[in-house]
């Protein structure tokens, strides 16, 4: 029993693609997968070779620079990977944030959020699904948000995009059951990433700590999540131990959805 427990969540022999894997939650997922024995491909808009070297350190991490909103770029990136090996796992983590209500959100802003957060995820799943069907199955994990199912002020376009992520995940899970392809999504609440620090520095100069504490206090547990905590759930849902789980949106939110006053 002890040996069986020690082997849980190992990923030797697995190949994973993580979009948005150069920073934040995506990077934490790449680190967790690599530490668990997977071969990992980062797909990111930025050049992430230095990230791959830092994470690598004995692990196998490769990089494909790609704009997920560009279908041709996505297909080329995946084709490069497919020529070398069979992909077992796709984690769609690439995305952008947006602040604004219906009236303040311009059409250009709306289209950009949709293009990256929704069409970008479609592009990656579309590029990978036929490959997984041909090779006997796989796992897709999509990054949603509590914004998909909870009314958040000034998050109109972002909430729209994450609601679409949840719906797409359910549809893919249903349509590909017979092909042994599992698809789930997770919905984090606020997580402390470099994006949060940059947002505070830009919008609240000199008040970063004050506003950070206010934002942290909105989670019932009294703090923001850590990217490593999100990555731990992703690792489980993408592992063989979760083989009975598909078509589920998992909140990981410090009690945000159900325990707020």
- Please tell me the distance from the alpha carbon of residue 114 to that of residue 104, in angstroms, as a whole number: 16
Confirm if 28 and 6 have CB atoms less than 8 A apart: no
Catalytic position from the list 122, 158, 179, 250:
158
DSSP characters over the chain: -HHHHHTTT--TT-EEEEETTTSHHHHHHHHHHHHTT-EEEEEESS--HHHHHHHHTTSEEEEEE--TT-HHHHHHHHHHHHHH----EEEE-------B-TTT--HHHHHHHIIIIIIHHHHHHHHHHHHHHHTT-EEEEEE--GGGTS--TTBHHHHHHHHHHHHHHHHHHHHTGGGTEEEEEEEE--B--HHHHHHHHHHSTT-HHHHHHHHHHTSTTSS-B-HHHHHHHHHHHHSGGGTT--S-EEEESTTTTTS--
Task: Give the residue from 52, 46, 48 showing the smallest Cα distance to 68.
Answer: 46
Catalytic residue check, 204: no
Interatomic CA distance for residues 192 and 224, integer angstroms: 6
* Residues with active-site annotation: 158
């Amino acid at each position: 029993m002890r040996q069986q427990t020690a082997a849980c969540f190992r990923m030797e022999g697995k190949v994973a693609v993580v979009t948005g894997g150069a920073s934040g939650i995506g990077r934490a997922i790449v680190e967790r997968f690599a530490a668990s024995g997977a071969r990992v491909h980062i797909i990111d808009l930025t050049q992430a070779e230095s990230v791959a070297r830092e994470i690598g350190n004995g692990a196998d991490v490769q990089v494909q620079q790609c704009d997920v909103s560009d279908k041709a770029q996505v297909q080329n990136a995946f084709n490069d990977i497919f020529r070398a090996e069979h992909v077992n796992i796709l984690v769609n983590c690439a995305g952008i944030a947006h602040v604004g209500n219906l009236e303040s959100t311009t059409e250009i802003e709306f289209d950009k959020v949709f293009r990256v957060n929704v069409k970008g995820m479609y592009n990656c799943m579309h590029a990978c699904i036929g490959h997984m069907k041909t090779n006997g199955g796989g796992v897709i994990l999509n990054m949603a948000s509590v914004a998909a199912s909870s009314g958040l002020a000034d998050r109109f376009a972002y909430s729209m995009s994450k609601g679409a992520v949840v719906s797409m995940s359910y549809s893919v899970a249903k349509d590909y059951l017979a092909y042994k392809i599992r698809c789930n999504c997770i919905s984090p609440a606020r997580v402390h990433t470099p994006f949060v620090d940059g947002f505070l520095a830009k919008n609240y100069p000199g008040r970063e700590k004050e506003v950070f504490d206010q934002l942290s206090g909105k989670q019932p547990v009294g703090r923001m999540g850590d990217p490593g905590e999100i990555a731990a759930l992703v690792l489980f849902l993408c592992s063989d131990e979760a083989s009975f789980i598909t078509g589920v949106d998992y909140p990981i939110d410090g009690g945000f959805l159900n325990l707020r006053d």
